[in-house]
Structure 1
Amino acid sequence: MIGISEIASAAELIAGHVVRTPTVPSPGLTSLLGAPVTAKLELLQRTGSFKARGATAKLLSLSGAERAAGVVAVSGGNHGIALAVTAAGLDVKATVVMPRTAPARSVEIVREAGASVRLTDGMDSAFRLVTVLRDEGLILVHPFDDPVVIAGQGTVGVELAEDAGELTDVLVSIGGGGLIAGVAAALRALRPGVRVWGVETEGAEAMSAALRAGGPVPVEVSSLVSTLSAPSVAQLTYDHVAALVEGVLVVPDRDAVQGCLDLAEHAKVWAEPAAGCLLPAARQVLARVGAGARLGLVVCGGNTTPAELAGLAGRFGLW
């Protein structure tokens, strides 16, 4: 299990390389949800998502020989962007394996940063290919199955604990579980009374399936939210969620897209569906915990274009 000492070490390592993102009360979301809401705006992080934290921590932890070998990662978008940009700044050669369903702009950003992009037909095949490339000698920077990466993501939780007012419940999106594992570990140490809730979209339910099965299992991915679409979680992330998280909520893709529109209108932030899913999940949390809740939302990323979000909104008849 990742502890606060590992997260503190990661915070020291990445200081000066990442942004201490704003943690702000949101009057608009408070009015919309009917309970006090504080937003941790990780969409304002370098590369547009929290992923810069874990990628930076991992790259800075590598030896000179490991950096010289080059790094490889699998990504539905944000991890690849974070790795490509961070690796370029450290003069490390990077390869990113992405499914063809990844947002076109994300693929473009990875290439513009100088990384080599390998496209596959889906996330399952992307994970298989990255394993082959690792075995050929590249250093794997896993998006979630790595204690250094998780500790880096846990710095989000440290900042939230230090900067937010009183909170009762914190909501965190789940793909492979690296962010929620780190945030939950930090909050257990610094705000032990706070409940942490995970959020998945329908068709990207790797953690929910693992909790039902008692451990990681492969799942069929069908969600349109590519940045949450891990084909399975890791034992490491599962262990943290099973021990530290109150529950995992699942929302439809349509509601996640509506959440993006609500965040734009009521919170004045431009978020991707992986963050938009927090709003419908917040309503579920409020229904469960009742009066007196004070919510924290980790708005994990904003890497979506107006055309992409408009296309999704149109698909679901939301405008």
Structure 2
Amino acid sequence: MIGISDVEAAAERIAGHVVRTPTLPSPGLTTLLGAPVTVKLELLQRTGSFKARGATAKLLSLSEQERAAGVVAVSGGNHGIALSMMAAALDVKATVVMPRSAPARAVEIAESAGASVQLTDDMAGAFALMPQLQEEGLTLVHPFDDPVLIAGQGTVGLELAADAGELTDVLVSIGGGGLIAGVATALRDRRPDVRIWGVETEGAEAMSRALAAGGPVPVELTSVVSTLSAPAVSPLTYEHVSTQVDEVLVVSDREAVQGTLDLADHAKVWAEPAAGCLLPAARRVLERVGEGARLGLVVCGGNATTGDVMGWAERFGLR
């Protein structure tokens, strides 16, 4: 497991390459949920999500030989965007493998940044292609199973701990678990009394299934939220979550999309369903912990188009 010194070192390494995103009280969400809410706006990060942090930390850790040979990543969207853009900024050649279900905008951004994009039928197929590309000399930048990358994502937690007022509960979305592993490491050092809640969507519940099974297990992916769709978590992220996170909650795709609409209406931010899922989960947290709760929400990304969200809203009968 990584420690706080790893996160602090990552913060020093990536400073100047990424944005220290705003941590702000949200009057609109406070009114909506009936409890004080603070938001960490990672959707304002370079590349539109927290993923820029881990990708940059990993790229800056590579040797000159590795940088010259290039890197490869598998992604449901945001990791591919982040690696493509940050690799271009650091003059490293990138290859990104995505499932055909990945948002078209993610593919377009990765290609426009100069990355070579390969599409596979599904996420499992994308991960299966990795060994072959590594044999060709490319360095894998895994979306979550990498201590250097997790430490980079943990800088979100360092900033939240430093910039937020009093908090009792922090909610973090989970795909493969890299973000929550890093954030939990930072918060357990800086804010040890805060409860940490992970949030997944039905059909992308790799971490909650792993917790129930006592270790990582493969899951069938059916969620529309491709940016949370990992076919399994890793032993590394499982270990962090099982020891540092209070509980993982699972919400429906419909609730996650409604959460995206609520964030637009009440928080005035355009997030993706991977962040929208935090709102229905926050309501459950408030029901459990009762009065006195002060929530922190890590709004992880905003790389969904208006067309994407409107399409999902129509599919689920939302307004």
Secondary structure in 1 matching 2:199:
strand
Name 2:318's counterpart in structure 1.
318
Alignment partner of 2:129: what SS?
helix
Residue of structure 1 equivalent to 2:21: 21
**In 1, distance between residues paired with 2:204 and 2:135?**
27
Deviates further, 286-295 or 224-233: 286-295
**Matched residue SS, 1:185:** helix
Q: Which amino acid aligns with 1:245?
A: V
Alpha-carbon distance in 1 for matches of 2:299, 2:273? 10
State the shift of 1:136 in Å: 2.4
Measure, in 2, the Cα distance between the counterparts of 1:62 and 1:131: 19
1:228 corresponds to: 228
- The equivalent of 1:242 in structure 2 is 242
Unpaired runs of 5+ in structure 1?
none
Shift of 1:131: 2.4
Alignment of 1:33 onto 2:30: no
Kindly provide the amino acid, as one letter, of the partner of residue 293 in structure 2.
A
Aligned to 1:101: 101
Which residue in 2 is equivalent to 1:88? 88
Deviation track 1:31-64 (CA, whole Å, cap 9, x = no partner) reads: 0000000000000000000000000000000000
Give the drift of 1:90.
1.1
Q: Unmatched 5+ residue regions in structure 2?
A: none
Answer yes or no: is 1:115 the counterpart of 2:115: yes
* Structure 2 counterpart of 1:254: 254
Equivalent residues in 2 for 1:90-169 (5 A)?
90-169=90-169
Determine the C-alpha separation between the residues in 2 that align with 1:30 and 1:189: 27
Identity of aligned residues (%): 79
Cα shift readout 1:80-114 (whole Å, capped 9, x = no counterpart) = 00000011111111000000000001110000000
Deviations 1:263-304 (A, max 9, x none): 000000000000000000000111111111000000000001
Counterpart secondary structure, 2:208: helix
| Distance in 2 of aligned mates of 1:146 and 1:138 | 16
Q: Which residue of 2 aligns with 1:71?
A: 71
Q: CA deviation at 1:130?
A: 1.8
The alignment partner of 1:172 has SS state of strand
Q: Distance in 2 between matches of 1:132 and 1:213?
A: 30
Q: How big is the shift at 1:137?
A: 1.5
With the length of structure 2 as denominator, give the TM-score of the two structures: 0.99
Q: What amino acid maps onto 1:185 in structure 2? A: T
Distance 1:176 1:286 in 2: 25
Match of 1:270 in 2: 270
- How much does 1:192 deviate? 0.2
Describe the SS at the equivalent of 2:233: coil
Q: Which residue of 2 aligns with 1:184?
A: 184
| Number of the residue aligned with 1:279 | 279
Q: Which residue of 1 aligns with 2:292?
A: 292
Cα distance in 2 for residues equivalent to 1:280 and 1:5: 34
Amino acid at match of 2:193: G
* 2:222 partner SS: coil
Q: Where do 1:2-17 residues align within 5 Å?
A: 2-17=2-17
Q: 2:83 & 2:147 partners in 1: Cα distance?
A: 16
Report SS of the residue matched to 1:145.
Answer: coil
- Say if 2:204 is the partner of 1:204: yes
Q: Could you tell me the TM-score, scaled by structure 1's length?
A: 0.99
Greater than 4 Å deviation, 4+ residue runs: none
Distance 1:256 1:17 in 2: 31
CA RMSD in angstroms comes to 0.5
Distance in 2 (CA, whole Å) between partners of 1:151 and 1:134 is 23
For 1:15, the aligned partner's letter is A
